[in-house]
Chain A
């Protein structure tokens, strides 16, 4: 079982909100991890979006709009990236990452399509 599981795809309409999940493997408690989120458009390198651990421990990447935000769902053992007011330029792959067992572990990514 992968350390981090992300849905492979998600579609939403312009102006809507999109909630991307990053589920941690059973036995790895999301409450003890900072979740990092990256955005990657086709043909471009990843871009750091934000880090979320709690409302008192979070960081927005430089120049990243506030409509990108993070949270956690402890009951689902998952980190969440919320994109509000979806725009066409939000169409991209989104990756979550954690620091686990002294290595950097990425999820497989979610492809977001703005219909």
Chain B
């Protein structure tokens, strides 16, 4: 079955760290760029970060640059998001999503996971 399954979310205090994981199955993971998109409660979608095939290109939204690090392990068909110095405004449902392309370029996010919730609060 073609799917993405996120994990690692939870409740964390401001300033602390959290690492999200995304396990992919049913497609050749290494052939595609992968991204994280988040959705704050009751709000819209916000692109967070992306990584191209073989990690050639990495990009971040300005809101997380310098605090979040995206990575991938193609041998494990997994995508990660290391989140440091978390802020209350990072509270959101974090989706792992596959781009229908290998490179970091415009294209469709054609496969989405169910998301993992991150709550930043003291």
Contact = CB atoms under 8 A, between A and B. Distances in A.
Contacts, number: 55
A17 interface: no
Given A95-B45, A104-B47, A46 B106 contact: no
B35 interface: yes
A47 B47 CA distance: 15
Nearest to B60: A103
A59 B109 CA distance: 13
Nearest to A98: B106
Interface residues of A, number: 26
Most buried by B among A47, A48, A109: A48
A38 B45 contact: yes
Chain B interface residue bracket vs A = 20 to 34
* Chain A binding surface SS class: strand
Nearest to A106: B45
A38 B46 contact: no
Given A62-B110, A98-B106, A99-B105, 17 more contacts: A38-B45, A38-B109, A45-B112, A48-B108, A51-B108, A59-B108, A93-B44, A95-B44, A97-B45, A99-B106, A102-B104, A103-B61, A104-B47, A104-B50, A104-B109, A106-B45, A108-B44
